[in-house]
Amino acid sequence: MDLIYLVKVLVRRKWTIIFCLILGIAGGLLFSFFAPKRYLSNAQYSTGFSQTQKVSLQLTEIFDVNQIDFRFNNVIETFKSPIVLAMMSYDLLLHDLESTHPFTILTEKQKKDTVYRKADFQKAKEILRDKLLNLKLLTTYNPDEKRVWDLMNLYGYDEFSVLKQLTVERIPKTDYINVSFSSKSPELSAYVSNVIGIKFKEFYNSLTSTTTKQSLYKLDSLQQSKRKEVDELRSRLQVYRAKIGTPNPGDAATAAMAGYQELSSSLTNQQAILNDYKQKLSSVIDQLASMNTVTTAPTSANTNNADEILVLRRTNELLAAQLAQKGGNDPDIQKKINDNLSRIVQLGASGTTASATAQKQVDKKEALIKSKLELESNIASTNQNIEMYKKRTEEFRKIAFSGGGEEVVAKAYENDLTTAEKELEKYNSSLFASQDIDVAPDFNFKQIILGQPAIKAESSHGILITAIAGISMFFLSSLFIIILELLDTSLRTPTIFHKETKLNVLTVVNKIDLQKKTLKEYFDFDSKSDREYTSNTFIENLRKLRYEIECSGKRVILLTSPKAQEGKSIILESLAYTFSMSKKKVLLVDANFSNNTLTREFAAKPTLESFSMNGHDNGIEKIWGITTLTSITNTDIIGCDEGNYTPSEILPKNNLLANLDKVIHHYDFILLEGAALNTHADSKEISEYVDGIVGVFSAKNGIGEMDKEAIHFFRINDSKFIGAVLNNVDEQNLGL
C-alpha cells in the first residue's frame, strides 16, 4: 500500500488519534493520582569474597575475578531462593500474629474470609516456629500446614509477593550487596531488608558448613597421604644411594634403564591400587544409597529423634557463635540455647529404647561417610602419584637412550623428594591455619548498613507515566487505524483499483449525498453560478467520462457492473445530463430486468419487452410510441418490466435491441443499462447488440472470485470495452 495514502489516512483520522491521546493522558493522570504510596528501605551487606578463604584444598589460591562474580551471582540467587523467601514469609506472618503492632491490618472483608474464620492461630504459630527453626517448607498436603499457607496468602506474605517487592543487586566493583524492599508500610520495608539477611545467613551456613567440614576431613586425609609419599620417596633415595655407591660413568645407561624399569613397575602398581580404591568407593556409595532408602521409610515417629537432635545441636553451635560475637550477654540467644538443650534431653529420654537401632544406623552411616572421604582422598593422591610416575618414567627412558648416568637418576629421585616435601609443608600450613576457625566459609558476611523506615514515599513518576500513557495511546491508535486500512480490501483509490483489476480507468467519480440533494439539483446551474467543491468535482468527473466516450467513436454503449448496487443507474443518468449540456440527443434503454431503477425514476412506459419491428422497414416510426420524455433535455427513455428473465427469453423477434443500428440514426448516443454480471447473464446477451461497454465499480467494494470472472469478460471483449468507472470514491482519495 502507498505510504502517502497511509499518511493521508492518519491525517484524516487526526481527531480520533487526538482523542485517544487525550484519553491516554487522562488515564495516566488518574493512575498516578490513585496509585497507592510505596516506601522503600535499603540495607547493605559486605560479603568479604575478596578475602582469602581460610579453608582451601588448593595449594596456591589465586584471586579470580570471574570466580568472585560467580559467587556474587550465587549469593543473589540464594537471597531469592524459595527457602529464604519462605523463611521470610513465615517470619512476617508470625510477627503479625504475635505483635500488637502488625505490619498488615486485615480489612473487615478479609476477616470474614473462610480462611481467617477457620484459622487456629495458636497452632499456626507453633507450625511457623518449627519451620523457622528447622529451615523447612510448609507442605500443602498437610491440612494444618495448608491452612497456615492460606492464611499467609491472605496477609499477602506469600513467596511470590515478597519476591516481587524485593531487589538484590551487587554494587559494581565492590564486595557489597544492596538489598531493597518496597511496600505500603515503611516499617515493613525496613524489617524485611534487615531480617532477610539473617535468613540468608542461616540458610547459607546450613548449606556450606557440612561441605566445609568434609573439606577439612579431606585436607587432613591428603596431608596424611602426602606424608606417606614423602617417607617412601626418602626411603627409595636412601636405598638407591647405598646401592650405587661411588658413581661409575660407564654404567650410566644401565642405571637409567634400571630406574626406568623400577618406575614402570611402580606406575603399574599405582594403577592397580587406584582401581582397587575405585571399586571400594563404588561399594561404599552403594551401601550409602541402600541405607538412605531404608532410613527414609516412615516406620515410626521416634526414628526421627536422632536427626532432630543433630539439627538442634547444629542450631546451638550457630547460636553459641552469635552469643560469642555479642560478648556472651544476650538473654534471648541464651534462652534459645537452653530451650534447645531441654528439647535434646527430652528427645533423648523419650526415644532411648526406640532409637537404639536408628543410632546404630547413624553410626554405621557416619563410618561409611568417613570411609568414602578417605577413599576419595586416596584416589586423589594415587592420581597424583600416577602422573608423577608417568613423568619420571619418560625422563628415565630418555636418559637410558641418551647416555644419562646413575647420578642423574639419583638427582631425579632427589627432585621428586624435594617437590613432595614442599607440597607436604603447604598441606601442614593449611591444616594448621584451619584448626580453630568457624567452618562456614562466609563468616565475613555481615550487614554494614541497617535498613531504615522511609520518611517519604517513593516518587509516583506521574509525569513519566502520563507521558508514556499518552504516547502509547497515540501510537496504538495510529497502528490500529493503519491495520484497519491494511485489512480493508475495498477499491478505495484509483491506484488500488488499477493494481487489482489492470483495467483502463475512464474517470473516478466522487461520492455524493443524494439524501440532501437530488441528482437534478447537482446539474441545475448556469455557467456563472458558484458551486460547492463536491458538486463541481462530481460534474467535472462526469465530463471526463463524456469526453472519453466521445473520443472512443462508439455510440451504442452498455453500462454494466460486476455486482449489483454499484451505481450504474446514477452514472448513466449523470452521463445523460452531461450529454444534454453539450446539446447531444440521447436515448436511455433500461434493460436491467432484475432492477428497473431507471424505469421507476423517470416513470417510463415498460415497452421494451413488447416492441417488435414485425418485419416492416418503416417500423422504426413505432419507436416514438414506446419512448418516454424525461426531465433531462434532449433525452428519451424506453422502460422495462421487472422480472426473473433474460433478454433472449422475454424479447420478441425483431425486437428493439436487434434494430439499434436503425434507431441510432435518430440519436447521438444510445445508453443501455444491464444487470450485474456476477448474478445475471443479461449484460452478456446485450453486449452482442452494442458498440461499446463501460464497467462501473464501487470504491466501497473489493474484488472477489466472481468479480474476476466479470473482469475477464471485459478483457475478452477488448474491441468493445471502452474502460471502467470507479464510483463512490472519497474526495480525499481522488488523487491517490
Strand 39-46 versus strand 176-183 pairing type: antiparallel
Given the DSSP bridges, would you call strands 446-449 and 39-46 parallel, antiparallel or unpaired?
antiparallel
What is the structure's pLDDT at 54? Answer: 46
Residues in the chain, pLDDT under 70: 1-2, 32, 34-35, 49-66, 207-221, 223, 244-257, 292-307, 310, 321, 323-328, 348-363, 398-409, 424, 426-444, 459-462, 525-534, 615-620, 734-736
| Burial class of residue 172 in the structure, from the number of CB atoms within 10 Å of its CB (0-12 exposed, 13-18 middle, 19+ buried) | exposed
Q: Which amino acid is at 629?
A: L
CA distances from 43 to 81, 164, 177, 182, 488 (A): 18, 17, 8, 12, 58
pLDDT score at 496 = 84
Each residue of 563-598: b (16+ CB within 10 Å) or e? beebbbbbbbbbbbbbbbbeebebbbbbbbbbbbbb
Burial class (CB in 10 A: 0-12, 13-18, 19+), 128: buried
Q: What is the 3-state secondary structure (H, E, C) of 111-173?
A: HCCHHHHCCCHHHHHHHHHHHHHHCCCCCCCCHHHHHHHHHHHHHCCCHHHHHHHEEEEECCC
How far does Cα 250 stand from its chain's mean position?
80
Contact 563, 698 (CB under 8 A): yes
> Contact at 8 Å (CB) between 170 and 177?
yes
- What distances in angstroms separate CA 687 from CA 82, 141, 360, 556, 721, one per listed residue? 82, 84, 110, 10, 10
Return the amino acid letter for 441. Answer: P
Beta bridge partners of 588: 637, 671
Spatial CA neighbour of 647 closest among 634, 638, 656? 656
Residue 55 CB contacts under 8 Å (≥ 6 apart), including other chains = 212, 215, 216, 219, 430, 434, 437, 439, 441
Q: What is the pLDDT of residue 253?
A: 59
Please state, in angstroms and rounded to a whole number, the distance separating the CA atoms of residues 345 and 273. Answer: 46
C-alpha cell at 293: 532408602
